[in-house]
Structure 1
Amino acid sequence: METMGAYALARGEGEMLWFLGAQTWVKATGDQTGGALGLVEQVLPAGFASPWHVHHAEDEAFYVAEGEMTFLCGNRRVAAGPGTWVWGPRDIPHGFRVEGTAPARLLLFATPAGFEQFVVELGEPTADWSSPPSAPPDMATLMAVAAKYRVDILGPLPDEAVPVGHATRGSSRDRERSDAMSGEENAAVVERWIEAYNARDTRAEAAARAPGFVAHVPGVPGPLDGDAWAGFIASFAAAFPDLRLTVEESFAAGDKVAARVTFRGTHRSEFQGIPPTDRQVTFSSIELNRMVGGKVAEHWVELDLLGLLRQLGAIPTPGTAGS
């Protein structure tokens, strides 16, 4: 294993970017720290507010060097002046804003490394700070890049009407645009939830579910809690090890996301008493999800179990002789 050498940057050194409208220096990347951490330094203008968001791939820590800030992490609110250090664990929604009329200088650590590449990919390189961006970041681009780095953008900070990356309080039109994005954001969360199952990433799948999650599955008595749901989907993966789900269509409105999903896989192990047939099957479902805080709180699914059982030979196909 290669030993990492000592590494240092002075104030003002590092790759320079405009990130969400703020002056940003990339101080350390995973390549420079052996993947241990990424570090960026920012000067945030007065009134700046980050989005309310959640990381699934790294923990974050913040050190306020100058200015006054407020951090929200889960249900906790922290007033942070110079010298304050704040820890933001992964899978916990959080955000921050600059208080008062002066800018703030912030060090943002992410461990393990990786999030600094999100900053680089979304940021606008610059040689100096004379020409700040004239427009706020494009929300569609922000959402797409965030999803790539397993960051869920949940909306503006709670009880705030500040557009993402803006230094001024948002107008009613800004709030309407933010509300309109919530449906797209919720649909993106559902798709990432399904992709986590496809990857058999049990941690990411569980992280997409809200506390108190319940699922309603036909043929199963009573709603399933999180543990029972995990067992249910694991049983499908055991019977159909290559099972993959594809979202064919989805529609979001308010706190609901509906989807039409196709399942494809090979029957390799016992399923509901049916011995393995090695048959490839394709069946579908209609699903409805209720979202709370950017997570799936309640799930309803109607599976085409009849079609599946016919493909497995457990039920005669219409038009053929049955026993």
Structure 2
Amino acid sequence: MQRRTFLTIPLIASALITDGQRTNKANPKKGFKVEKGRGRNVEQMKVLGSTFDCKVSGKDTNGQLCIFDTTREGQTSPPLHLHHNQDEWFYVIKGEFKVQVGDEVLILREGDSAFAPRKIPHTFAKTSEGVGQMMIIFQPAGKMEEFFIERVNLESEKDPLKKEAALKTLWDRHGMKVVNEPKKV
């Protein structure tokens, strides 16, 4: 056996074992149920007329993904933003939404979905009357649960300048960048 091969094999084996150990940590030991109107590891979160329930936590998947069920009553939307390290997938359960991904605006109705790749600016807004509902998946999970918890806590800030500065810091700290302020898509 050549010296180079002899030295390379342990390095490759070590990488495979490490990767396998990381993957095995993500496999839950048993299934779980999350009831309607409940969150997995956190209570239901409400912000700007929207409710967020974490159905599958990043803690459940070793950070590989997280899933939120969001119910929206108003026509508010997040600002046009991007995630540096996460893809985002939207699936409409109830109502109609406009989803902007890059320069493209997509109309989503019940059963439709849209994919927003990482580093591509995106936003969405409910356009139908009444309550709208979507499932949103972030892959990998990143810090989205923490983001929503902290975002809810910022609702109590009364000073608009402090709130604006805190929001910018919040987005940055959780791996996102706001491209511009909310507007109807």
TM-score range, shorter chain: 0.7 to 0.9
Whether 1:61 and 2:86 are equivalent positions in the alignment is: no
Percent identical among aligned pairs is: 25
RMSD: 2.6
User: Which residue number in structure 1 is paired with residue 179 of structure 2?
Assistant: 154
Whether 1:37 and 2:65 are equivalent positions in the alignment is: yes
Segments of 5+ residues of structure 1 without an aligned counterpart are 125-131, 163-323
Greater RCO between the two (CA within 8 Å, min separation 6)? 2
Alignment of 1:45-194 (within 5 A): 45-114=73-142, 115-124=144-153, 138-157=163-182, 160=183
Which of 5, 8, 21 is 2:33 aligned to?
8
Offset at residue 94 of structure 1 (A)? 0.5
Secondary structure of 1:122's counterpart equals helix
Distance, in Å, in 2 between the alignment partners of 1:123 and 1:22 is: 10
Secondary structure of 1:32's counterpart equals coil
Letter in 2 for 1:74: G
Aligned partners of 1:39 and 1:116 also within 8 Å: no
Secondary structure of 1:96's counterpart equals strand
Please list the CA deviations of residues 244-283 of structure 1 after superposition, one character each: whole Å capped at 9, or x if unmatched: xxxxxxxxxxxxxxxxxxxxxxxxxxxxxxxxxxxxxxxx
Offset at residue 134 of structure 1 (A)? 10
**Quick check: which has more Rg, 1 or 2?**
1
Please list the CA deviations of residues 47-77 of structure 1 after superposition, one character each: whole Å capped at 9, or x if unmatched: 2222111110211001111111100000111
Q: Decide which structure has greater helix share.
A: 2
Letter in 1 for 2:28: M
Letter in 1 for 2:32: Y
Please list the CA deviations of residues 171-192 of structure 1 after superposition, one character each: whole Å capped at 9, or x if unmatched: xxxxxxxxxxxxxxxxxxxxxx
User: Which residue number in structure 2 is paired with residue 223 of structure 1?
Assistant: none
- CA distance 1:148–1:7, change in 2 (3 Å): same
Letter in 2 for 1:146: W
Misfit runs of 4+, over 6 Å: 132-137
User: Which residue number in structure 1 is paired with residue 51 of structure 2?
Assistant: 23
Aligned partners of 2:45 and 2:51 also within 8 Å: yes
Offset at residue 16 of structure 1 (A)? 0.9
Alignment of 1:225-236 (within 5 A): none
Segments of 5+ residues of structure 2 without an aligned counterpart are 1-20
User: Which residue number in structure 1 is paired with residue 18 of structure 2?
Assistant: none
TM-score (norm 1): 0.44
User: Which residue number in structure 1 is paired with residue 7 of structure 2?
Assistant: none
TM-score (norm 2): 0.73
- CA distance 1:86–1:136, change in 2 (3 Å): farther
Aligned partners of 1:65 and 1:105 also within 8 Å: yes
Alignment of 1:271-290 (within 5 A): none
